[in-house]
Amino acid sequence: MKTRSILLSVSFFFLSSCIFTKPSLDKDYIPYQELEFGTIYRSFDVFRSIYFYEHSTLNKALGNKSPISLYIFNTDEDSGLRLTMRYVGSNWLYVKYITVLNSSGEKVTWYFDESKMKRDVNNGSVFETYDNRFPKNIYDSLKEVLEGGGIQMRLYGDDGYKEYTIPPDETKGLIEIIDFYETPLFER
C-alpha cells in the first residue's frame, strides 16, 4: 500500500508540474491576431483542453533575448497570464526575485514562488527556469514601468545578480500581451 501511495504522489507531482508545458511556437502555433507590434499566436492542446497564446516578439524560438516572457493560458475553468523566466550562466544565482526599471527610475519588483523554480546543469552551464501564474496585482504596475521605456531588469539571487536590457520590441510585446489578455479580444 505504501508503494502505491508514493507512486500516486510522484504521478500527481509529475502531472501538476507538466500541465502548463507550452507547445513550440515554430511548429504548433497558428497566427491568431495581428497587433501593432507583432502577432498573437494560438495553439490548442487537445489532450489537456488548454489554449495557449503567445506574442511573436516574446518567443525564444523567434529570437527573444530577454530572460522573461509572458503568455496566456485558457481552459474551460480558468485563464491567466503566466510568466516564464530563464537564467543561463556559468554560476548559480539561486534566483529569488526580479526588479524591472525604466529610464525614469520607476520600478516594480516581484518574488518568485521558489517551489516552482527548476534548476539544472547541462554542458557546463547552469539553468534556472520558472513558469508560473503571473500575479494579477502586478499587471498594471509592470505595464506602467514598461511604458516608460529604456527597460533594465535585474534577477536577484542568493549568489548575486544578473542585469539585462530589454529590447524595445520585446518591451512592446510584453505590453501588448497584457493588453490583449485584459480586453474583449481575448476569448475566455
92, containing H or E segment: none
And the C-alpha cell for 119?
Answer: 534548476
Q: What percent of the chain has pLDDT over 70?
A: 80
Q: What is the pLDDT of residues 48-59, one digit of tens each?
A: 999 999 999 887
Say how many residues make up the chain.
188
Comparing 122 with 10, which gets the higher pLDDT? 122
Max CA-CA distance within the chain? 61
The domains of the chain are located at: 2-182
Q: What is the pLDDT of residue 168?
A: 93
Separation CA 4–CA 27 (nearest Å) = 38
Whether pTM exceeds 0.75: yes
Q: What is the mean pLDDT of residues 6-27?
A: 44
For the chain, report the end-to-end CA distance as a whole number of angstroms.
42
What are 140's three cell numbers? 498594471
Buried/exposed 84-112: b ≥16 CB within 10 Å, e otherwise = bbbbeeeebbbbeebbbbbeeeeebeeeb
Range with lowest mean pLDDT among 11-15, 18-22, 150-154, 163-167: 11-15
Asked if residues 125 and 89 have their Cβ atoms less than 8 Å apart, the reply is yes
Q: What is the DSSP string of 154-169?
A: EEEETTEEEEEE--HH
CB 74 within 8 A of CB 50: yes
Cell numbers at residue 151, please?
Answer: 527597460
